[in-house]
Structure 1
C-alpha cells in the first residue's frame, strides 16, 4: 500500500488561522467599500459596527437587484420580442 495521498483526498489539518492583522486589513477594506461607513468623518468604527453596516449594505444591494429584475421582467413582457429594445434588455440580463 502506498503511503502518499491522492490529490483529491481531503486533509485532516485545520485551515490556517486568520491573524489579527489580516482581520484589520479586511475591516479597512470593508470600510472603504461600504458607503455608509466610508462617508463618516471618523475611520474608527468598531468591528461589529463595520460588519453590521456591511450586512445592511449587501441586503440593500440585493433589494435593488430584485427591484431592477422585476422592472426588467415587466418591461420585457410589454415589448415585442423581436424589437431592438428587447434585444438590448436581453443583453443586459445575460
Structure 2
C-alpha cells in the first residue's frame, strides 16, 4: 500500500479530516482576499497555485503584523507628547 493511501486512510479515521474540495474552497477564499495576488496586469485573475496563494497569505499576514507594530510605536510616541490627562491621550490609549 502506498504511503499516501495509508495517510489518507489514517486521516479518514479521524473525525476532523478535511476533504480536498474543502481545501480547494479555502484556498480559493484566501486567493480572493489577497490584494496583490488578485491582480495580474491590472485585471483580476483566478489562476494561482495553492502554493503561491499560501505563500502570499503568509507574506501578507507578516506585513500586516509589521504595520500594526509600526502604528503602535507611532501611537506610543504620540502619547508621550500629549498631556496624560487629556482627552486625546485617552483616545490614543484605547488604540494601543
Query: With structure 2 as the length reference, what TM-score do the two structures score?
Result: 0.76
- Quick check: which one's strand share is greater? 2
Superposition map of 1:40-51 within 5 A? 40=40, 41-51=44-54
Unaligned runs of 5+ in 1: 1-12
> When you count helix as a share of all residues, which structure comes out higher?
2
Distance 2:25 2:76 in 1: 40
CA distance in 2, matches of 1:16, 1:82: 52
Structure 1 length-normalised TM: 0.78
Q: CA RMSD in A?
A: 1.4
Whole-Å separation in 2 of the counterparts to 1:76 and 1:15? 50
Unmatched segments (≥5 aa) in structure 2: 1-12
Matched positions, count:
81
Q: Which 4+ residue blocks in structure 1 deviate beyond 3 angstroms?
A: none
